[in-house]
Amino acid sequence: MSAPAPGSTASLLGRRERMLLAGLAALLAVALFWLRGGLQPAAPLEKLARQSLDLPVALSDGRPTLVEFYADWCEACRAMAPAMEALERRHQGQLDVVLLNVDNPRWQPQIDTYGVNGIPHLEFFDSHGERLGQAIGARGAADLETLGAALVSGAPLPALAGTAPTSALAQAPTIPEPPIAPRSHG
């Protein structure tokens, strides 16, 4: 079998098909690039997680600390991330924001220590590394700013829904046993 002569119809169809395939491949590459975020910088959640301090460093550097337990797949965590990033920017050098991924086994001791059983879960620490409270569930920008401002100023945490101070459990009072009487059936 001989090759088609240059300029013949068979040779033109081969070139057209190759050009069409190359165009489709380029279009597919552009579509994939666009769907994966294009040239946008990393999403706020990933950016915060990458740049956050190690928890022991944050708790000992003399600044208050806000810790968020999160997961990459958590939609509420992702939705809250831009407000967390803005909070960190606004209080840079005054407040440490630390993100701990609950899917990373490295953080299991902290997950156990702070009783994390839902995300997002926030823990608040003063400038001496003392635990002040916690908040469970997604927070809006206004709530995060209020909480961050209280931490930076050393004020008590605001009473927001889902936010609670932590305290040591006091010894439960003992209830005296009732005296045994003839009609007590005791």
Beta bridge pairs of residue 125: 65, 131
Query: Considering only CA atoms, which of 5, 18, 82, 14 is closest in space to residue 45?
Result: 82
Q: Return the axis-axis angle of helices 75-90 and 141-153, rounded to nearest 10°.
A: 40
Residue 129 is among the residues annotated as catalytic for this protein: no
Query: Residue 140, by phi and psi: left (phi above 0), alpha (psi -120 to 50) or beta?
Result: beta
**Entry pTM:** 0.65
pLDDT of residue 186: 45
pLDDT of residue 169: 44
Of the listed 48, 55, 74, 84, which one is catalytic? 74
pLDDT of residue 48: 82
Q: Which CATH superfamily is domain 44-165 in?
A: Glutaredoxin (3.40.30.10)
What residue spans define the domains of the chain?
Answer: 11-40, 44-165
Bridge-based pairing state of the strands 131-136 and 65-70? unpaired
Cβ(107)–Cβ(100) below 8 Å: yes
Of the listed 48, 66, 77, 83, which one is catalytic? 77
Name, in order, each residue with C-beta under 8 angstroms of 121's C-beta and a sequence gap of 6 or more: 68, 69, 114, 134, 135, 136
Cβ(56)–Cβ(26) below 8 Å: no
| Sequential pLDDT tens for the chain (186 residues) | 555 555 555 556 688 888 888 888 888 888 777 666 555 556 778 888 888 889 999 999 999 999 999 999 999 999 999 999 999 999 999 999 999 999 999 999 999 999 999 999 999 999 999 999 999 999 999 999 999 999 999 999 988 766 656 544 444 455 555 555 455 444
Residue 74 is among the residues annotated as catalytic for this protein: yes
